[in-house]
Amino acid sequence: MSILSFTRAWQALEEQTTIHVVLPNQIDPKNKLQVLWLLHGLGDNGSGWIRKTNLEVLTKYTNLAVITPEMNRSFYMNMANGLPYWDYLTKEVIPEMRKLLPLSTKWSDNFVGGVSMGGFGALKLAFTHPDWFSAVIPMSPVVDLTTLPKMMPDFRAIFDGALPDRYLQHLAEAAPKEALRKLRFYYLMGDQDEMKPESDAFAAYLNNRLGLNVTYQTEPGGHDWLYWQKILPDVLTWLLHVRLSDGKPL
């Protein structure tokens, strides 16, 4: 595997960020790579996935590019008193990385996942751009923004006024239902995670109210990297099944 560390300035942010990329050794120029966009949580950065898991070893067997954008403490938003990270991600990072690397742009070849704040980001990307990804993997996602003050003392950098209630539900309800129902979700949550009751309810809402294809897996685990590094092999195995079930050679 190759690990690239890609640093440059971005127009939306007017500052430098570093994006980490895991690439397979064998790249066939005729077949563009399938991509897992893997999002980090609060207090972390894109390097977290590389430093705190065995991502490099696991992806040796998956022939997949993995991209971990740097999103700072943005909650995957254009911040009210900060930088427009959502625009940077959706209008710059994803299109630019696709220009620079041999990445497939097809819906069926793109997958998005993330932990905690990054799980929120993965759900937000799926609901706002359901035609960009075919599989969505929220791991211990924050699904209720009204709980933000408990975890993030500087939440006013993101939201000026009242915290949005049912933010993800509104996005999901506004998304084209046909496109949403084509997505496959693998939603993972630790039993010891304080946010589990919100996720139990949110996963049930996605499955039962919206009729989405959501596999909700809960097991012993907290809101931490011990749990996330433990579930990463399950995530990549589930993704392999999804990719193989599409009938394409990997």
Ligand X SMILES: N[C@@H](CCC(=O)N[C@@H](CSC=O)C(=O)NCC(=O)O)C(=O)O
Q: For residues 107 and 159, which CB has a smaller minimum distance to ligand X in the complex?
A: 159
According to the binding rule CB under 6 A, does residue 149 interact with ligand X? no
What's at 192, amino acid-wise?
Q
Helix (H) or strand (E) holding 99: helix 94-100
According to the binding rule CB under 6 A, does residue 199 interact with ligand X? no
* Rounded least distance, CB 227 to ligand X, Å: 10
| Pick from 86, 75, 66, 87: nearest CA to 6 | 66
* Rounded least distance, CB 51 to ligand X, Å: 8
* Rounded least distance, CB 122 to ligand X, Å: 12
According to the binding rule CB under 6 A, does residue 12 interact with ligand X? no
Q: In what order do the strands lie in the sheet with 184-190?
A: 2-10, 15-23, 65-68, 35-39, 110-115, 135-139, 184-190, 213-219
According to the binding rule CB under 6 A, does residue 41 interact with ligand X? yes
| Pick from 50, 131, 127, 117: nearest CA to 85 | 117
* Number of residues forming the site for ligand X (CB under 6 A): 9
Q: For residues 44 and 109, which CB has a smaller minimum distance to ligand X in the complex?
A: 44
Contact 124, 76 (CB under 8 A): yes
Interaction with ligand X in 71-130: which residues (CB under 6 A)?
116-117
CA distance 22 to 35: 10
According to the binding rule CB under 6 A, does residue 44 interact with ligand X? yes
CA distance 79 to 82: 5
Stretch of 17-25, 37-45, 169-177, 210-218 lying at the interface with ligand X (CB under 6 A)? 37-45
Binding residue for ligand X (CB under 6 A) from 14, 15, 16, 43?
43
Q: Which residues bind ligand X (CB under 6 A)?
A: 41-44, 116-117, 151-152, 225
